[in-house]
């Protein structure tokens, strides 16, 4: 099992919430992702469509979900189609879900084999007025590969050109932003596993250690915890690290490669330094980033939009860069507002939503709200000094204050040095 079982009532609640946002007499169809080929007869590891997973809990190829809440027959109102297995498939590919197991995972009663999808879809499409179809509407999404859902959109519109078509990703983005308690539980568990890996790496970290060796130490914690394929509440790892090659050596007093200090996403994030013997300059930069992180946490409150939030964080960062001697105060006063000097040293966003996807979905510039989980990850990168620091925290927005999901991590320079000395 790649991850801990999730209470199927979580998926039941998600479907109920989605149905509340549909037009009358509607039909929803969402397909699983494809399995992508490599060379010869090889394939990549399967990566499920997280919107489908959010609604069903099924992590298997060739899965299709139909929701038709106003269908004439009650059994047609929610149908899950899964791939039928065989003895040969079980031998060569591994076990696939039985109908009973699909019910256990999803909380759905009507489970059919995938080859029954076409007649069921036609029967229900002819009853519906509105058809909700799925596309990836994340603002920075790549559209290079045509997905199973995109192919289905084209075929569906050719077969039923007179229906009204809607975007199911729109209500799903709204729903996925605010976390259910079950999702929060898994997010916190992923962070706790990360903490165990982080503290293990602190004990191992010293000059001469290779980044690939640090990765092995993290994996030593993650594998027994079933966290190698999935981080944050069951999401597969798509972490970003400024040094993707992972082949440098840690130097005394600093971090390897352009100074990035383990800046990947929640599966292995944090505040690591390669030794506790950091130089005064490194400590100054680290503490400046820490002040920006804490200031951003104070700003990140319900009702604020992401664009206004980033603007205010840049103002905090500008002051820190001036104090570090990286930006001239007089030049900052005269700068072109569309070409901020701060972006030379802090070129990425401060926060993103976190959930089933590492960069979780959200409607463009939607205001922050209670129950949302976000990263706070400012950084200062100084190529001319071969130095860079990013500190990432994960928080849940609360009514009065944000809840620090990384509360047990060492954060200050003194705390980190003490943890490494242990």
Residue 318 and residue 296 in one domain: yes
Convert the pLDDT of each residue in 58-99 to its tens digit.
999 999 999 999 999 999 999 999 999 888 988 888 889 999
36 in any annotated domain: yes
DSSP state of 44: P
304 in any annotated domain: yes
pTM strictly above 0.85:
yes
How far apart (Å, rounded) are the C-alpha atoms in residues 405 and 418?
21
pLDDT at 23 over 50: yes
Pairing of strands 393-396, 373-376: antiparallel
- Are 261 and 241 within 8 A, CB to CB? no
How far apart (Å, rounded) are the C-alpha atoms in residues 80 and 101?
12
- What pLDDT does residue 61 have? 96
* Domain containing residue 52: CATH number: 3.40.350.10
Give Cβ neighbours of residue 306 (< 8 Å, ≥ 6 apart).
Answer: 351, 365, 366, 368
Last residue of a domain, one of 148, 177, 206: 177
Residue 131 and residue 165 in one domain: yes
User: Mean pLDDT over residues 278-291, rounded?
Assistant: 94
Last residue of a domain, one of 112, 146, 177: 177
66 in any annotated domain: yes
- Are 268 and 260 within 8 A, CB to CB? no
42 in any annotated domain: yes
Nearest-5° Cα angle at 299, 354 to 382: 75
* Domain containing residue 412: CATH number: 3.90.230.10
- What pLDDT does residue 233 have? 40
401 in any annotated domain: yes
Residue 100 and residue 236 in one domain: no
Q: Minimal CA–CA distance to 50: which of 136, 148, 160?
A: 136
Q: Which domain holds residue 69?
A: 8-177
pLDDT at 261 over 60: no
1 in any annotated domain: no
Last residue of a domain, one of 177, 204, 224: 177
pLDDT at 238 over 90: no
- What pLDDT does residue 253 have? 52
* Three state DSSP letters for 229-268: CEECCCEECCCCCCCCCCCCECCCCCCCCCCCCCCCCHHH
Structure tokens at 65: 């979900």
User: Mean pLDDT over residues 109-128, rounded?
Assistant: 97
DSSP state of 30: E
């Amino acid at each position: 099992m790649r991850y801990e079982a999730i209470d199927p009532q979580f998926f039941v609640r998600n479907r109920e919430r989605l149905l509340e946002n549909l037009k009358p007499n509607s039909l929803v169809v969402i397909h699983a992702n494809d399995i992508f080929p490599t060379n010869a007869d090889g394939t990549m590891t399967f990566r499920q469509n997280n919107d489908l997973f959010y609604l069903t809990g099924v992590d298997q190829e060739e899965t299709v979900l139909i929701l038709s809440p106003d269908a004439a027959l009650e059994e047609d109102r929610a149908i899950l189609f899964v791939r039928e297995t065989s003895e040969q498939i079980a031998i060569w590919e591994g076990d696939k879900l039985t109908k009973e197991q699909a019910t256990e995972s999803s909380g759905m009663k009507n489970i059919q084999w995938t080859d029954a999808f076409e007649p069921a879809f036609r029967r229900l499409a002819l009853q519906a007025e509105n058809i909700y179809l799925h596309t990836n509407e994340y603002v920075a999404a790549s559209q290079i590969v045509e997905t199973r859902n995109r192919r289905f959109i084209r075929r569906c519109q050719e077969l039923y050109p007179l229906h009204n078509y809607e975007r199911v990703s729109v209500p799903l983005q709204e729903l996925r932003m605010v976390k259910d308690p079950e999702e929060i539980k898994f997010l916190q568990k992923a962070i706790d596993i990360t903490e165990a890996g982080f503290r293990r790496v602190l004990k191992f970290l010293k000059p001469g250690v290779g980044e690939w060796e640090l990765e092995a130490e993290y994996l030593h914690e993650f594998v027994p915890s079933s966290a190698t394929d999935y981080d944050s509440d069951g999401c597969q790892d798509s972490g970003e690290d400024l040094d993707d090659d992972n082949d440098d050596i840690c130097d005394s007093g600093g971090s390897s490669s352009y100074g990035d200090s383990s800046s990947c996403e929640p599966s292995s994030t944090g505040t690591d330094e390669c030794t506790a013997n950091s130089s005064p300059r490194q400590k100054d930069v680290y503490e400046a980033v820490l002040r920006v992180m804490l200031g951003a946490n104070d700003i990140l409150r319900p009702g604020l939009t992401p664009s206004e939030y980033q603007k205010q964080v840049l103002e905090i960062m500008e002051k820190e860069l001036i104090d570090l001697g990286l930006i001239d105060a007089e030049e900052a006063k005269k700068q072109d507002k569309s070409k901020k000097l701060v972006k030379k040293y802090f070129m990425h966003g401060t926060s993103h939503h976190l959930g089933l996807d590492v960069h979780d979905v959200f409607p463009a510039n939607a205001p922050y709200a209670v129950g949302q989980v976000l990263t706070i990850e400012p950084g200062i990168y100084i190529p001319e000094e071969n130095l860079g620091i990013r500190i990432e925290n994960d928080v849940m927005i609360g009514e009065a204050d944000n809840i620090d999901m990384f509360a047990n991590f060492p954060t200050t320079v003194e705390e980190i040095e003490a943890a490494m000395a242990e």
